[in-house]
Chains A and B, each alone.
Chain A
Amino acid sequence: MAKKMLEVRQLTTKYITRHGEDVYSVDHVSLDIEEGKSLGIAGESGCGKSTLALSLMGYYFPPLHYTSGDIIVDGKNISGLDPDVVRKTVLGSDVAYIPQAAMNALNPTRKVGKFIEDVIRAHELPMDSKQIREMAEQRFALLGLPVEALDKYSVELSGGMRQRVVIAVSTILNPKVLIADEPSSALDVTSQKMVIKMMKDMMAQGLVKSMIFITHELPLLYNVTDDIMVMYAGQIVERGSAHEMVFDPIHPYSRGLMNSILVPEEGTRDVKLTAIPGTPPNLKHPPAGCRFADRCRYATNACKFNQMPIIDIGGGRQYRCGMSVEQLREVYASEN
């Protein structure tokens, strides 16, 4: 069995609003990723996927607060560490995080090479300018990025190039876990493809040991990651391999999501596109029972009052529903 790169146990984090209310946006989330694997996280906006990404860094700043649970990166527990320690010893080397607008992170007044120097310096590594420069050049060459970009200002680079440079810089210390939150959503399709290709290269070359990829674009997720996890209202509702999740979703919510996929492929014009009515619950006052019950077509009265445990059915497959897999499959089959 491969080594676990990231192990998360019952992680709970919360936002404290301006009025002092607690909003648990990540609620008892457990997940693990093996070396060389990638995990995709999908869900509607507001389901907590971005908060989960932030929480997994182990670096919390208000209004986000750590509540309980463990984050173990390659055997090292990083939850509950002092933020300064996390910033210096964990971020970049153990965990790297790329937010959606990462391309705006480049300092417009510094050349890219100098910016990389600043970043490395912030980690207090014993390297001089020349060594850093060499390291950066090697990494750029390895990832197929033009070395000339090191001597340019960020405004001279295209959006896609900027995003790739930022990803290359964030992973220069070979992190064990890369967390990418919508890294390609702001780009056009061709730039998106280049970014994805580079990220897959990094995984293949072992520069990044494991990856969490967050997006609401399911076709993209299907093509990027090994596994897909669906989140709803701060909880995991289903996890499985990318293929199983797209073609054989178990949870009604995952099924709803997968039914909304639109791709320019033969035959897709004839599929039935369905929507999930309603909106996700307000996490200030989460529902007492199953959080999806209000929007679920199959919900019974009991669903509204009983919390659903997550059920592991083997083969890396988990789901959170009161009905058995057979019952659900039967219902789905009867609809088509």
Chain B
Amino acid sequence: MKIDEKTNQAPVDNRESVTFGTDRNKDFSKEPLCLSGKDVTRIFQTGKTTTTAVDHVNFEFHKGELISIVGESGSGKTTLSKMLLGLLEPSSGEIFYRGEPRDISTGAKKRQYWKGIQAIFQDPFSSYNVFHKIDNVLLDCINMRGGRNLSKDEKFAMMTEACSFVNLKFAELTNKYPFELSGGQMQRLMIARIFLLKPEILLADEPTSMIDACSRATILDMLLNLRNETGMTVIFITHDIGLAYYISDSIYIMEHGKFVESGKAEEVILNPKAPYTKRLISDVPKIHEPWDLSTVG
């Protein structure tokens, strides 16, 4: 950090804190449907054993909503997220996009769909092609948004803007490789990518689980800022029920491929109905209420 010569004082960082632009208890059920599914199922078959990773799940995600899908490892949440992204076909059931059955049967239709839905993955270290410079990642987004013919300066300005949105300096990043950044910086750059793409839906698959708790707020804040700015729908996949409660409007609890409970965050967490949800909440250590250890054997 540089020291200001005139005042002989270090510039004080603004504390980065999470700000929610929208009303925390807004009712999204009146908003138009964005993504919904009916009896979506995915079965994996290896040899003679079949595994039902996702089992007849139904969901309705509304425009602008922040939805959390909470589940432990092996609950099928990653499989579901791949199906939502169109990277994996459901074995049965149907996914609806803007109320219409989703058609991604051809390459062109897929590309069109992916203009509307984008993702941030859990592990920033495996999200980048290590052989490509950071500039490539961002240029790709500009090209995808039809900015292929923009001048070099315009592209540079766009990339600078995207980086400054996530508090990174593009001038310092240009010509660098992803592995020269820290995990937090990489994940912020992923958000910058979404900033350039401005998709209708963002699927965030455990974007903070590999990041230290104290940098987590930064990432969340940026995600929420981006959502406030673009009004996009965010599907947040996580195993951390505390985090899900904090950020989301609605929560879907997933166990063994099924949604066992869903609803508004306040309701699901403070007034759980399903035994699994109750257990999950009681098993998480808390700080205001006592943590009852007698519930386990």
Which residues of A are in contact with B by a Cβ distance under 8 Å?
44-45, 144, 188-190, 192-194, 196-197, 200, 216-220, 222-224, 246, 256-257, 259-270, 272-279, 293-295, 297, 299-301, 304
Alpha-carbon distance A151/B281, docked complex (angstroms): 34
Contact of A274 (CB < 8 Å), options: B3, B17, B265, B295: B17
* CB atoms of A297 and B13 under 8 A apart: yes
* CB atoms of B17 and A223 under 8 A apart: no
Residues of B within 8 A of A279 (CB): 182, 184, 215
Looking across the interface, which residue of chain A has its beta carbon closest to that of B17?
A: A274
B213 sits at the interface (CB 8 A): yes
Alpha-carbon distance A217/B15, docked complex (angstroms): 22
Residues of A within 8 A of B212 (CB): 44-45, 216
Known A188-B72, A264-B284; further 7 A-B contacts with Cβ < 8 A: A217-B285, A257-B213, A260-B214, A264-B286, A265-B287, A269-B246, A274-B217
Which residues of B are in contact with A by a Cβ distance under 8 Å?
1, 3, 8-10, 12-13, 15-18, 24, 72-73, 167, 182, 184, 212-218, 220-221, 239-246, 265-266, 269-270, 279-281, 283-289, 291, 293, 295-297
Contact of A44 (CB < 8 Å), options: B1, B214, B218, B245: B214
Looking across the interface, which residue of chain A has its beta carbon closest to that of B294?
A: A197
CB distance from B65 to the nearest CB of A (A): 16
Residues of B within 8 A of A293 (CB): 10
Residues of B within 8 A of A300 (CB): 9-10
* CB atoms of A301 and B242 under 8 A apart: no
* CB atoms of B72 and A264 under 8 A apart: no
CB distance from B115 to the nearest CB of A (A): 31
Contact of B218 (CB < 8 Å), options: A264, A267, A277: A277
* CB atoms of B216 and A275 under 8 A apart: yes
What are the 9 A-B residue pairs with the smallest beta carbon separation, nearest first? Answer: A275-B217, A262-B242, A189-B283, A275-B218, A219-B285, A274-B17, A273-B18, A260-B213, A223-B285
Alpha-carbon distance A275/B241, docked complex (angstroms): 19
Looking across the interface, which residue of chain A has its beta carbon closest to that of B245?
A: A264
Q: A200-B293, A273-B220, A275-B214 are in contact. Are A222 and B13 (CB under 8 A)?
A: no
* CB atoms of A268 and B16 under 8 A apart: no
Residues of B within 8 A of A262 (CB): 240, 242-243, 245-246
* CB atoms of A269 and B213 under 8 A apart: no
**Complex A-B: 22 CB contacts under 8 Å:** A189-B280, A189-B284, A196-B293, A217-B213, A219-B287, A222-B285, A260-B214, A261-B287, A262-B240, A263-B284, A263-B285, A263-B287, A263-B288, A264-B242, A264-B245, A266-B270, A274-B17, A275-B214, A275-B216, A277-B167, A294-B1, A295-B13
CB distance from B110 to the nearest CB of A (A): 34
Looking across the interface, which residue of chain B has its beta carbon closest to that of A257?
A: B214
Alpha-carbon distance A282/B264, docked complex (angstroms): 43
* CB atoms of A274 and B293 under 8 A apart: no
* CB atoms of B17 and A272 under 8 A apart: yes
* CB atoms of A269 and B16 under 8 A apart: no
* CB atoms of A223 and B245 under 8 A apart: no
Alpha-carbon distance A304/B269, docked complex (angstroms): 44
Looking across the interface, which residue of chain B has its beta carbon closest to that of A243?
A: B287
CB distance from B164 to the nearest CB of A (A): 15
* CB atoms of A263 and B242 under 8 A apart: yes
Alpha-carbon distance A223/B283, docked complex (angstroms): 12
* CB atoms of A197 and B72 under 8 A apart: no
Q: A219-B242, A262-B242 are in contact. Are A276 and B285 (CB under 8 A)?
A: no
Alpha-carbon distance A197/B297, docked complex (angstroms): 9
Most chain B CB inside 10 Å of its own CB: which residue of A192, A220, A277, A279: A277
Residues of B within 8 A of A267 (CB): 288
CB distance from A256 to the nearest CB of B (A): 5
CB distance from A217 to the nearest CB of B (A): 7
Looking across the interface, which residue of chain A has its beta carbon closest to that of B293?
A: A197
CB distance from A43 to the nearest CB of B (A): 9
Looking across the interface, which residue of chain B has its beta carbon closest to that of A184?
A: B285
* CB atoms of A275 and B215 under 8 A apart: yes
Residues of A within 8 A of B184 (CB): 279
Alpha-carbon distance A263/B285, docked complex (angstroms): 8
